[in-house]
């Protein structure tokens, strides 16, 4: 990793070196901004994976980082949803194929820690980008500058802070941006599994009353050709009980829950238990700050939307700031940042509330809600155009995607590729 001992000045300080922060830092550095990214790079395995959809893959391909992950992902060619709520009304199973919307796969599934470690390695070798593996202790927003003090005493000064420092964001708090927070009576249990039967690139969601239990295809490992990751939402009481089980007992309960779909389950390596919550920042921007990723929005892992949404934040921020610089605008000015906020508003609103409604529909056992859920799934199973619209919305989203996520971004940041970006770009393909 790059380390600097002196105080640093940059165009942009990215707070947080999780997947969202590192991705934003890479996009901003490649757009020609000088960037300092501050945060611990957490590469501990915890059974968590992320399904990255088509638009996110285009983003990583445009940044040239995707080859680093070749052979480390598994494609999701089909998504199947099976009702396991025991609803009084029969709820149909639904299956979505990527081929129906002209894609070979909806996206690719990868272990979180593998993604973060790879992005950090690339960041460390990227022009215009300094990665400080430290924490921000304090941050002040002044008229023209942002001043951050790191835990080791170093200081970073920048024109703008991109806050990607997660749910407890110090940058967001110090900027005086409030949040709306809510909780769900659910814990997500995550684990990597191996099994005798192939997953056939199908992600299968069992919709139970406590939430979905999802098997997502995972790349093979040595001697383990068939692997999946698991995200199982359960009540806090069930999580407490399962936490105390031996791996073999837990594997048995997983197998029961998924109707032995993939045969005998074995758990590979450590898993994790994550309490489910929702959070929405009251504003996406403030004076010399723009929020990105979980510093701005949190919701449960239904339909694999969280990081995909965060990457759209990152790509949009790089685009808005790139355009502002071409026009000679201050990248930290409220007017510039408002453009970012308005570009992101409806996407964030739709995902946060859509996932919330989906989750509450499952948690409720009221007959009218079950009826609505059943009718909705029936409509999606029977009506082709509706099903295809839902699939497109899930992987590519409505409205205009940021330029880096559009198909074949042949010339990136063309507006400022004429040399006005004094620090230059380091195109990676």
Ligand X SMILES: Cc1cc2nc3c(=O)[nH]c(=O)nc-3n(C[C@H](O)[C@H](O)[C@H](O)COP(=O)(O)OP(=O)(O)OC[C@H]3O[C@@H](n4cnc5c(N)ncnc54)[C@H](O)[C@@H]3O)c2cc1C
Q: DSSP per residue over 30-72, as a string?
A: HTT--EEEES-------S-EEEEEHHHHHHHHHHT-GGGGTTS
Stretch that binds ligand X, among 3-11, 36-44, 82-90, 332-340 (CB under 6 A): 36-44
Please report how close the Cβ of residue 39 comes to ligand X at its closest, in angstroms: 3
Max Cα-Cα span within the chain: 66
- With binding defined as CB under 6 A, does residue 13 bind ligand X? no
Helices (H), 175-279: 236-243, 247-257
- With binding defined as CB under 6 A, does residue 29 bind ligand X? no
Q: Which helix (H) or strand (E) holds 162?
A: strand 155-163
Stretch that binds ligand X, among 9-17, 243-251, 253-261, 395-403 (CB under 6 A): 9-17
Rounded Cα gap, residues 308 and 310, in angstroms: 5
Return the residue of 42, 144, 393, 420 that touches ligand X, per CB under 6 A: 42
- With binding defined as CB under 6 A, does residue 164 bind ligand X? yes
- With binding defined as CB under 6 A, does residue 21 bind ligand X? yes
Return the residue of 101, 119, 175, 231 that touches ligand X, per CB under 6 A: 231
Q: Comparing C-alpha atoms, which of 403, 295, 312 is closest to residue 350? A: 312
Rounded Cα gap, residues 394 and 396, in angstroms: 6
Return the residue of 97, 135, 377, 415 that touches ligand X, per CB under 6 A: 135
- With binding defined as CB under 6 A, does residue 310 bind ligand X? yes
Return the residue nearest ligand X (CB atom).
18
- With binding defined as CB under 6 A, does residue 136 bind ligand X? yes
Q: Which helix (H) or strand (E) holds 375?
A: helix 367-382
Stretch that binds ligand X, among 177-185, 192-200, 305-313, 414-422 (CB under 6 A): 305-313
Rounded Cα gap, residues 68 and 122, in angstroms: 8
- With binding defined as CB under 6 A, does residue 170 bind ligand X? yes
- Tokens for 74, please give them: 């598994």
Please report how close the Cβ of residue 383 comes to ligand X at its closest, in angstroms: 26
Q: Comparing C-alpha atoms, which of 288, 41, 293 is closest to residue 166? A: 293
Neighbour tally for 196: CB within 10 Å? 11
- With binding defined as CB under 6 A, does residue 48 bind ligand X? yes
Q: Sheet containing 49-53: give its strands across.
A: 49-53, 107-111, 74-76
In this structure, the strands spanning 35-38 and 8-15 are parallel
Q: Is the Cα torsion angle 318, 324, 330, 336 positive or negative in sign? A: negative
Please report how close the Cβ of residue 197 comes to ligand X at its closest, in angstroms: 22
Return the residue of 40, 61, 224, 388 that touches ligand X, per CB under 6 A: 40
Residues binding ligand X: number (CB under 6 A): 33
Stretch that binds ligand X, among 32-40, 68-76, 350-358, 416-424 (CB under 6 A): 32-40
- The contact set with ligand X (CB under 6 A) reads 15-21, 38-40, 42, 48, 50-51, 135-136, 164-166, 170, 188, 190, 231, 274, 293-294, 301, 304-308, 310
């Amino acid at each position: 990793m790059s380390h600097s001992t002196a105080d640093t000045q940059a165009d942009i300080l990215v707070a947080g070196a999780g997947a969202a922060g590192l991705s934003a830092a890479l996009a901003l550095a490649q757009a020609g901004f000088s960037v300092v990214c501050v945060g611990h790079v957490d590469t501990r395995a915890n059974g968590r994976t992320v399904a990255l959809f088509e638009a996110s893959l285009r983003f990583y391909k445009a940044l040239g980082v995707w080859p680093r992950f070749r052979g480390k992902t598994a494609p999701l060619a089909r998504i199947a949803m099976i009702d396991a709520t025991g609803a009084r009304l029969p709820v149909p199973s639904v299956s979505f194929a990527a081929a129906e919307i002209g894609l070979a796969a909806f996206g690719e599934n990868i272990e979180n820690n593998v993604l973060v470690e790879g992005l950090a390695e690339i960041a460390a070798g990227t022009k215009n980008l300094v990665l400080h593996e430290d924490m921000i202790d304090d941050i002040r927003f002044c008229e023209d500058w942002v001043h951050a003090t790191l835990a080791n005493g170093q200081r970073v000064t920048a024109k703008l802070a991109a806050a990607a420092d997660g749910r407890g964001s110090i940058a967001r708090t110090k900027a005086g941006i409030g949040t709306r927070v809510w909780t769900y009576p659910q814990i997500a249990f995550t684990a990597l599994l191996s099994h005798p039967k192939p997953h056939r690139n199908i992600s299968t969601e069992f919709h139970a009353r406590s939430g979905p239990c999802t098997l997502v295809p995972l790349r093979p490992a040595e001697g383990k050709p068939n692997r999946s990751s698991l995200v199982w939402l359960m009540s806090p009481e069930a999580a407490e009980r399962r936490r105390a089980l031996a791996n073999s007992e837990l594997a048995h309960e997983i197998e029961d829950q998924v109707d032995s779909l993939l045969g005998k389950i074995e758990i590979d390596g450590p898993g994790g238990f994550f309490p489910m919550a929702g959070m929405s920042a009251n504003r996406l921007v403030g004076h010399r700050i723009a929020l990105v990723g979980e510093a701005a929005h949190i919701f449960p892992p239904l339909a694999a939307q969280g990081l995909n949404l965060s990457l759209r934040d990152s790509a949009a921020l790089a685009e808005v700031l790139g355009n502002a610089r071409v026009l000679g605008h201050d990248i930290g000015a409220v007017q510039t940042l408002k453009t970012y906020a308005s570009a992101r508003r409806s996407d964030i609103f739709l995902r946060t509330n859509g996932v919330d409604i989906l989750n509450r529909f499952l948690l409720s056992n009221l007959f009218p809600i079950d009826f609505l859920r059943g009718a909705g799934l029936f409509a999606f199973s029977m009506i082709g155009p509706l099903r295809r619209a839902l699939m497109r919305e899930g992987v590519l989203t409505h409205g205009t995607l940021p330029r880096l996520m559009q198909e074949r971004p042949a010339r990136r940041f063309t507006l400022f590729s004429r040399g006005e970006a004094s620090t230059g770009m380091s195109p990676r393909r």
